[in-house]
Copies of this chain bind each other. A is one copy, B any other.
């Protein structure tokens, strides 16, 4: 803890001094551009990997970057999405998983979760992922199985996310974009799901952020 205290001191003395205006401005309010939902894993720092400043992204972090469907769960994630979209007017939501995710590892090895009942209960909201992997990838094992679980999970959580009323209403009128990302810890690269190919590919100069296509949307001739 002393390390953290030293850090706090250094931050206050060095960083805040040179960014005084930024923080004074921020005290007046926030206007983040995106809602970033990612894992609690200590190896992820959303601001670092997106090279963003305080005030730029609204962040939800839980074990396994999970978004329970509307009406399931206690609404921690539901509240964050509603606050971000309906109150702050955010127009982009990113669900970002990561390689070597301990939560996804637990999902694949439920016996190992017997000593962690609260984690086991929480991962019930990723049953959507577990079942798909179990039924559709019988022959893939080891680290490959873990990686595919991480990838399928960001897509599954996007599915859950679409059941939230605030989200669907705005998706339907084209005012909200969703992104499915995976952060590869070993290289520091971020991959995104590209619906046109049905594949994950690195985001970069040649590949700008690619929003997921709308789900079934009714185009009523009014």
Contact = CB atoms under 8 A, between A and B. Distances in A.
B151 A218 contact: yes
Contact of A118 (B57, B79, B122, B125): B79
Interface in A194-215: 195, 197-200, 203-205, 208-209, 212-213, 215
A195 B208 contact: no
Copies of this protein in the assembly total 6
B118 A166 contact: yes
Nearest to A190: B8
Contacts of A1: 33-34, 92, 177, 179, 208-209
A177 B168 CA distance: 22
In this complex, the interface size class of chain A, counting residues with CB under 8 Å from chain B, is 35 or more
Q: By CB atoms of chain B within 10 A, which of A57, A158, A215 has the most?
A: A215
Interface string A154-196: 0110111011111011101100010110000111111001010
Interface of A: 1-12, 15-16, 19, 23-24, 26-27, 29-30, 32-34, 40-45, 47-52, 54-63, 66, 68-84, 86-87, 92, 94, 99-100, 102-103, 115-119, 121-125, 127-128, 130-132, 134-137, 139-140, 148, 151-152, 155-156, 158-160, 162-166, 168-170, 172-173, 177, 179-180, 185-190, 193, 195, 197-200, 203-205, 208-209, 212-213, 215-222
Contact of A70 (B127, B179, B219): B127
A57 B82 contact: no
Contact of A87 (B4, B102, B128): B102
Nearest to A74: B73
Nearest to A162: B159
